[in-house]
Structure formats: structure tokens, C-alpha cells
Structure 1
Amino acid sequence: MGIVVSGQNVDITPALKQYAEKKLKKLQKFFDDREVEIEVILKVQRELHVADITIQVGGLLVRGEGKTDDMYASINVAVDRIERQIRKYKTRINRRMRKLDAQAAGVAVPAQAESDEADEPRLVKTKRFDVKPMSVEEAIMQMELLGHDFFVFRNDSTGGVNVVYRRNDGDYGLIEPESR
């Protein structure tokens, strides 16, 4: 498990780094023996202490953020959010596997399992549209005109499909997918 702890507008003390590493090590049980990369960014924004944790394992990316008036509490909040996300993901996978196993064996799926699935988010709409070449600035303007929080477009300078999105802090982000 590789853990990188860095800071923005805050000095990372050895005690703070050890605390973050100790909290993150408890998540190891979810990943078996797979290679896990964890990036922890601790920062101070205005009067809030922010812990931004990103975990990469295989093709899965999990992110959690904690904002409080204490850095240690922010780390706790971020780790708890990540743990909740992982548990939810694993539960969903296990339910699907049990349902597939039951169907393969020709066993009727209990009504309880079907009602559990009703709690899961479902895909309710699929949109198809032309991805037009434009600059990042044009894509942001188009997103604003549509009133959306994100916008998919073909970047005219790189030729790749990109996504611009509105961040929680009010600024914009750009996603540039890479093929591996």
C-alpha cells in the first residue's frame, strides 16, 4: 500500500502523517493483496481544514473529502466516507453475484433481493449527441448556457473527447481521458 501525504497551505507534521497513514491502513482489509495507491492532500481553505483522499486500486478510483475546523477530524470524515463508498460498492457486487448464481442454478430470486435492488440507483436515460470540436472556453460557455454542471466536447486543440465540470468551490475542472 503506497501512501503519499502532501499539504497545501499547511505544514505536514510527522504526527499528522502518521495519523493519516494509521487511519488509511484500516482500509487495507477491503483490498486483499492488490496494489493500492493512496494520495492524501491536506489543505487549509479559508478557515476550514480539508482532507482530500484518493485511492486507486486496479481500475477502481475512490475519493473522499472531509472539511472541518480540525485537520484530524477532516481525515476521519474523509476516511469514513471512503469506507462507506467501498462497503456500498462491495455489497452491490455481492448482491449481483448471488442473483446471477441463483439464476444460473434455476432458483427463484427471493422478493427481498428484488426490493433491495429497488434501492440502488438505476440508469433511466441515455442521450446520444454529436461531440462538437471547440475550445475549453467555448465548452464552459456552452455548459453555462445549458445550465448543466458538466459538458462533454471534442477539444479542438488535442482532438480528444474531454469533459468540463463545475467544481464545489465554484471553479471549473477539465477531464482529459487517456487510453492505456
Structure 2
Amino acid sequence: MGSLRVTGHGVDLGESLRGRVEERMSAIQAKYLDSHMHDSCNGHVTLRRDGTAFRTDCVLHLVSGLTIEANGFAHDARASFEQTAERLETRLRRYKHKLKQHATGPGDDAAIEAAYAVFAAPPEEDDEDAVEGDAHPPIVAESTKTLQRRTIGEAVTALDMTGSPVVVFVHAGTGRVNVVYRRSDGAIGWVDPPSAAE
């Protein structure tokens, strides 16, 4: 593996648990990733206390640009990590299967840059004395994000792989910006706005 950072927040990992995390992550990657992807893959595993239990978060950055996330929650730190590792393994298995099914030719993955901004969270309590003209929250960060050209199936796969609630992408067939998202009932929604000419 390229690099793996294992950290504990409020948790003393110890050599045994740290060794188990490194060993299992390496085995998962060797099983599901090609050697060139395995060697240049970066990851971070974080174990932390969450009330009386433990939460493990894992993020893998693949050389293809895909970020795969998984997390687990249990009353034991090792069990929390094992749950996370199983979820990560499932996502990598799906990713490998999709790669075999949808081998794309060169140039199919053209991407575009889109503006990206992070706004401050609204205040918890409503302030009736607030000026109505100041309805826009302040911008905390601005940058650009790359929107990948994908089919709907690939976008849904990215939604499953990342664990993110939403994926914004360029539709491979139409060239328009589309969105797939996880609905509150667990189903997947798809937004395909019409082009300006329609």
C-alpha cells in the first residue's frame, strides 16, 4: 500500500490493534486492487470513542481518483474496525466487478471543473432581530471540483463506493450535469435537468 495512516482519537490503539488494522487493510487491497493500484493507494483509518462505544472511519484514495469510504460502530474497538473492513471489502468488490463489466475506452472519462463553495452552517436559534436582507450565509471555503463523465450506473456505483449522500457528474450520453442521491427511504434519486435549448 502506498501509505496508510492509523490514528486513534481518545483511544490507545496499542501495537496489536494497529498491526491488525495494517495487516487487514493490506490484505483487502491486495485481494481487490491491481498491483499498480495497490502500491499507489493512500488511506486513513481513524478509531474514536463515541459515547460508550467505538467508531471506525476509513477513507481510501485510489489512483483512479475514486475515494472509497466505510465506517463501523461497535462496543469494542477491534469489532468496530472489523465491521468497517467488511464494508470496505464489499465496496471494493463491487468496484472491481464494475471495472470488469464496464471497461471504458480512452477518452471516455473526460471531466470538467466546477466551482465549489462551503457555506457556514445557519445559527441554531432563530434570531428575530436579524436583518432580512442578510439571508445569505457566509462562504467558508471556495475551490473547484472535478466532475467526472459517467453513465448513470457508474454514478450509482460511485454513490455506493463513497458512502456520500450525493454524486454530481457529467452524464456520459448527454454531456449535461446530473445528480444521483440517496433518498431518505433508502432508494436512489436521479436529477437530469433539461438543456437550455429544451
- What is the TM-score of this pair, normalised by structure 2? 0.51
For residues 91 and 77 of structure 1, the distance between their equivalents in structure 2, rounded to whole angstroms, comes to 21
Residue aligning to 2:19: 18
Q: 1:33 aligns with which of 15, 31, 36?
A: 36
For residues 69 and 20 of structure 1, the distance between their equivalents in structure 2, rounded to whole angstroms, comes to 17
- 1:64 aligned onto 2:70: yes
- 1:94 aligned onto 2:117: no
SS of structure 1 residue aligned to 2:28: helix
Cα distance 1:96–1:140, how it changes in 2: closer, same or farther (>3 A)?
farther
SS of structure 2 residue aligned to 1:10: coil
Cα deviation 1:63-117 (Å, max 9, x = unaligned): 11010111111111101101101111221222223xx89xxxxxxxxxxxxxxxx
Instruction: Identify, as 1 or 2, the structure richer in helix.
Output: 1
Alpha-carbon shift at residue 27 of structure 1 (Å):
1.7
Cα distance 1:139–1:89, how it changes in 2: closer, same or farther (>3 A)?
farther
Residue aligning to 1:9: 10
SS of structure 2 residue aligned to 1:50: strand
Residue aligning to 2:161: none
SS of structure 1 residue aligned to 2:36: coil
Alpha-carbon shift at residue 134 of structure 1 (Å):
9.2
For residues 158 and 89 of structure 1, the distance between their equivalents in structure 2, rounded to whole angstroms, comes to 31
Q: 2:58 aligns with which of 21, 43, 53?
A: 53
- What is the TM-score of this pair, normalised by structure 1? 0.56
Alpha-carbon shift at residue 49 of structure 1 (Å):
1.1
Among the aligned pairs, what percent are the same residue? 18
The structure with higher relative contact order (CA 8 Å, sep 6+) is 2
Cα deviation 1:12-50 (Å, max 9, x = unaligned): 211110011111111222222230111010111101111
Is the deviation greater in 88-97 or in 35-44?
Answer: 88-97
Alpha-carbon shift at residue 158 of structure 1 (Å):
4.8
Instruction: Identify, as 1 or 2, the structure richer in strand.
Output: 2
Alpha-carbon shift at residue 11 of structure 1 (Å):
1.1
* Aligned AA (1:136): A
For residues 78 and 24 of structure 2, the distance between their equivalents in structure 1, rounded to whole angstroms, comes to 10
For residues 18 and 138 of structure 2, the distance between their equivalents in structure 1, rounded to whole angstroms, comes to 39
For residues 50 and 156 of structure 1, the distance between their equivalents in structure 2, rounded to whole angstroms, comes to 30
5+ residue gaps, structure 2: 106-114, 126-135, 146-198
Alpha-carbon shift at residue 4 of structure 1 (Å):
0.9
5+ residue gaps, structure 1: 102-130, 142-152, 163-180
Task: Count the aligned residue pairs.
Answer: 119
Q: Is the 8 A contact 1:55 1:63 kept in 2?
A: yes
